[in-house]
Structure 1
Amino acid sequence: MVDDITPNTKSTPKTSPQTDSSVDQMRTRYGYYIAMTGIILSAVIALFLVVVGWKVSSDVVAVVGVFTSVTGTLVGAFLGVQVGSAGKEADQQERKNAQKLTARAMGALEPDKAEKVLKEHYALIEGQHKQNH
């Protein structure tokens, strides 16, 4: 049973905080560009409609409203996904760090103590699983 906890010795690509920061900056920059493009597009359309001769404000508002509602929805979805994925990445990194620490701690134990810890852990998880179902 102790063999189940041997740490993975394969090399895994590491991300540096600088790389994560640059990815976050890129996401923010593109989100800003998308939002500004939508706002500018809506303003240009409104100005065009006024210049062309649409003098009734309700007509202009109706047409511009179509563009602003779609733009708002798309920008909100884009930024929501980006914020969610940033949180997920942080959680995954924390989980990886906890797994590495656990593997190192278990590797430092004597085999009989490590096996006892694992048996207790699996019994605890099985008890929690039975409570949830």
Structure 2
Amino acid sequence: MTTQAHEMPPALAAMMTDDEVAAVKADAARWRYGFLVVCAGLIVVLLGFVVVVFKSGAPETAFAGLVGVVGTTIGAYFGVQVGQSGKDRVEAELRRTTETAMRLAAKIHSHDADEVIKATMDRGRGTK
């Protein structure tokens, strides 16, 4: 599957690694397909609501159930999506940090290690 121009600007795609591009595509697919599933579920619930209202003649009771189901479904959808998105961002940052640490460890000599680690840790904390 190729990246289409309307999905990701070429300049942005050029700056991203293959892993980042794959993560962006997966995130977009999760949102798109999750949204379609939620919409399909809401349509089924609304159709059930209409049938219950016409058969029972008591729309108040059916409406209370409808509001509960729709609110729960929408809240769960967005909660899962946001939670998964945050988890993916943290995992990507962990991979980047680990790679940086591995590159740093490969480049320094053992007699310079303590000084480099101290300088790196101080810079990460904002002290100089």
Q: Give the TM-score normalised by structure 2.
A: 0.62
Partner residue, 1:101: 100
Runs of 5+ consecutive residues of structure 1 not aligned to the other structure: 1-13, 125-133
**1:91-130 matched pairs, under 5 angstroms:** 91-114=90-113, 116-117=114-115
State the number of aligned residues: 104
Contact 1:34 1:75 in 2 (8 A): no
Contact 1:24 1:86 in 2 (8 A): yes
Contact 1:42 1:68 in 2 (8 A): no
Q: Secondary structure at the match of 2:44?
A: helix
Larger Rg belongs to: 1
Q: Give the TM-score normalised by structure 1.
A: 0.60
**1:26-65 matched pairs, under 5 angstroms:** 26-52=29-55, 54=57, 59-65=58-64
Over 3 Å counting, the alpha-carbon distance change for 1:101 and 1:18 in structure 2 is closer
- In the TM superposition, residue 22 of structure 1 has moved relative to its aligned partner by 2.7
* Structure with greater contact order relative to length (CA < 8 Å, sep ≥ 6): 1
Partner residue, 2:11: none
Bigger shift: residues 64-73 or 85-94: 64-73
Aligned-residue identity in percent: 22
One-letter code aligned to 2:94? R
Contact 2:53 2:59 in 1 (8 A): yes
Q: What stretches of structure 1 move > 4 A for 4+ residues in a row?
A: 117-121
Contact 2:27 2:85 in 1 (8 A): yes
Runs of 5+ consecutive residues of structure 2 not aligned to the other structure: 1-16, 123-128
Contact 2:34 2:77 in 1 (8 A): yes
Over 3 Å counting, the alpha-carbon distance change for 1:75 and 1:112 in structure 2 is same
